[in-house]
A = this chain, B = another copy of it.
Amino acid sequence: MTTEATTGTRSGGYANGRATREEILDVAMQLFGEVGYRTASLREVASRVGISHPGLLHHFSSKAVLLAAVLERRDEVDEVAFEADLAAGHDYFDALAILIDRNAARPGIVELYATLSAEATSPDHPAHAYFQDRYRRVIAMSVTEFERFHDEGRLRPGTDPLTAARLTVAVMDGMQIQWLLAADTPDTRPDMAAALRAHFAALLTS
């Protein structure tokens, strides 16, 4: 108990640690989405929050740590929406296509993930473990679904559920690159969700 009652804003004259942490996350997610993780500077994030950049580093000890916090929070939001789609009666693959469509409204986030998942392949990258875990989780979920289809005889004969799961994740990642790359040439921009559905159509029967 080091602080008395505060308004939760900075204007009071001194800081409320918890409010600052959340505020930093908001601003960082916004800025990372706008200009990308690498272009964004800690000084700019700090400036928008209204503190100095060492002040920011008090809450997140490095730029990489801040990034990890942003990613984790984004994941939580996405997972909630995804689960809601499943609960609303969509099957797994439909829900994936809906997720993709939802992401298409947030190019900054898509770019952040596409760039980072490539960067983070380096074993010494700060987000390496995060992305390894994320891919393991996502692929495991897809495997379960394809196995269900396999048991129902609706998976293309000769197709391995694990390979199908990996191909599906690869299609989502790869289509994002093509989609982002065509941002300034809209007439050649692919429809990510439609491509994903075509991919499923080739893997599943009936």
Contact = CB atoms under 8 A, between A and B. Distances in A.
Interface of A: 36, 38, 111, 114-115, 117-123, 128, 131-132, 135-136, 156, 158-160, 163-164, 166-167, 169-175, 177-178, 180-185, 188, 190, 194-195, 198-199, 201-203
A177 B185 contact: no
A201 B164 CA distance: 12
B183 A177 contact: no
A111 B117 contact: no
A172 B167 CA distance: 9
Nearest to A117: B177
A198 B167 contact: yes
B181 A132 contact: yes
5 contacts: A115-B115, A118-B118, A123-B183, A166-B178, A170-B170
A145 to B, nearest CB: 16
Nearest to A188: B136
A128 B160 CA distance: 36
